[in-house]
Homo-oligomer: A and B are copies of this chain.
């Protein structure tokens, strides 16, 4: 069957879904609270629009990755508090544990950083370090390739185009430096890891 049996693949979860699950682990929250996090903290990159959050939460619930319970506590105001299910925890861990591919790099490192940010709480220090090493392994040849492409296009491209390319190279180099700094920071402070 060529068109890839829909029941076979594990129902791809978009990045926003993982962002929500990552926040939900450790801190069960309502949709409104999650929106507040997206609009007020450094996670501004994610949409805080209700038209994004609420449908996303319902999708996750339909996949049994999270479960919402209506709180009756304080007032009569309806309010759902969502928690990760065991299946959700597993999905989150699997997402974090994925090796970093070249495709991840060209797609922008936003998703990898999200994975890393949630890694320690969701899967332990060992998983964080593993992810960093995978990141480093993907990053090195990628940076080398970029530098080669930069040299090759040096004559062809002109002016600001070349300059922009150089910015990309610098940013990638900076990222690699951070990865290596993070690895040493993790491996120096503890030998065993907390998991």
CB of B164 within 8 A of CB of A174, answer: no
CB of A42 within 8 A of CB of B149, answer: yes
Question: In the complex, A45 Cα to B168 Cα: how many Å?
Answer: 12
| Chain B CB within 8 A of A76 CB | no
Place the interface of chain A in its size category. Answer: 35 or more
Chain B residues near A171: list those with CB within 8 A: 171, 174-175, 178
CB of B113 within 8 A of CB of A44, answer: no
Residue in B closest to A167 when the chains form the complex, CB atoms: B178
Total identical chains: 2
CB of A164 within 8 A of CB of B125, answer: no
| Chain B CB within 8 A of A146 CB | yes
- Which of A108, A114, A158, A171 counts the most B-chain CB atoms under 10 A from its CB? A171
Stretch at the interface among A10-18, A49-57, A63-71, A116-124: A116-124
Set B106, B121, B164, B167: member contacting A161, Cβ < 8 A: B121
Main secondary structure of the interface of A (DSSP, over half): helix
CB of B110 within 8 A of CB of A108, answer: yes
CB of B185 within 8 A of CB of A163, answer: yes
| Chain B CB within 8 A of A30 CB | no
Q: How far is the CB of A78 from chain B (nearest CB, A)?
A: 28
Chain B residues near A158: list those with CB within 8 A: 120-121
CB of A159 within 8 A of CB of B121, answer: yes
Question: In the complex, A165 Cα to B118 Cα: how many Å?
Answer: 12
Residue in B closest to A145 when the chains form the complex, CB atoms: B42
Q: Which 5 A-B residue pairs are closest in the complex by CB-CB distance?
A: A120-B159, A117-B164, A120-B160, A174-B174, A44-B106
Interface residues, chain A, with chain B CB atoms under 8 Å away: 41-42, 44-45, 106-108, 110, 113-114, 116-121, 125, 128, 146, 149, 153, 158-161, 163-168, 170-171, 174-175, 177-178, 182, 185
